[in-house]
Amino acid sequence: MARAIMIQGTASHVGKSVLVAALCRIFKQDGYVSVPFKSQNMALNSFVTKDGGEMGRAQVVQAQAAGLEPVVEMNPILLKPTGQASSQVIVLGKPVGNFSAQEYHTNYVARAWKAVCLSFKQLCAKYEIIVIEGAGSPAEVNLADHEIVNMRVAQMANAPVLLIADIDKGGALAAVVGTLELVLPEDRQRIAGIVINKFRGDLRLFQPAISFLEEKTGIPVLGVVPYFQGFSVQEEDTIPEGVVGRASSLSEAARDKKTKSSEVEIAVIYLPHISNFTDFDPLYEEEDVNLRYIGRGTPLGYPDLIIVPGSKNTIEDLVTLKRTNLAAEICDLAKKGVPVIGICGGFQMLGRTLADPYRTESSIPKEAGLGLLDITTTFAPEKVTTQVEGEVIGTGAFLASLQGERVKGYEIHLGRTELGFRAVPAFKIVFRSGEKVDFLDGAVSSNGLTWGTYIHGIFDNDIFRRHILDVLRVKKGLSPLTINPKGKKPTFFDKLEQDLDKLAAVVRGSLNMQKIYALINLPGPSRSSNLELRTSNFKLREGG
d(CA 166, CA 195): 9
Q: How many CA atoms lie within 13 Å of 401's alpha carbon, on the beta-carbon side? A: 9
> 56 with 20: CB under 8 angstroms?
no
Coil/strand/helix, residue 340 = strand
> 344 with 295: CB under 8 angstroms?
no
Q: Burial of 485 by CB count in 10 Å (0-12 exposed, 13-18 middle, 19+ buried)?
A: exposed
Active site residues per annotation: 344, 456
Chain CA centroid to CA 134, Å: 16
Length of the chain: 544
Question: Given phi > 0 = left and psi -120 to 50 = alpha, else beta, which region is 241?
Answer: beta
- The pair phi, psi for residue 437, each rounded to 5°, is -140, 175
Q: Which of 230, 128, 199 is CA-nearest to residue 517? A: 128
d(CA 290, CA 286): 8
Instruction: Kindly report the number of other CB atoms within 10 A of residue 13's CB atom.
Output: 17
> 222 with 193: CB under 8 angstroms?
yes
C-alpha distances out from residue 215 to 89, 131, 450, 466, Å: 43, 28, 62, 55
Instruction: Kindly report the number of other CB atoms within 10 A of residue 240's CB atom.
Output: 16
d(CA 373, CA 215): 65
Q: Provide the greatest CA pair distance for the chain.
A: 73
| Angle made by CA atoms 345, 373, 481, in degrees to the nearest 5 | 80
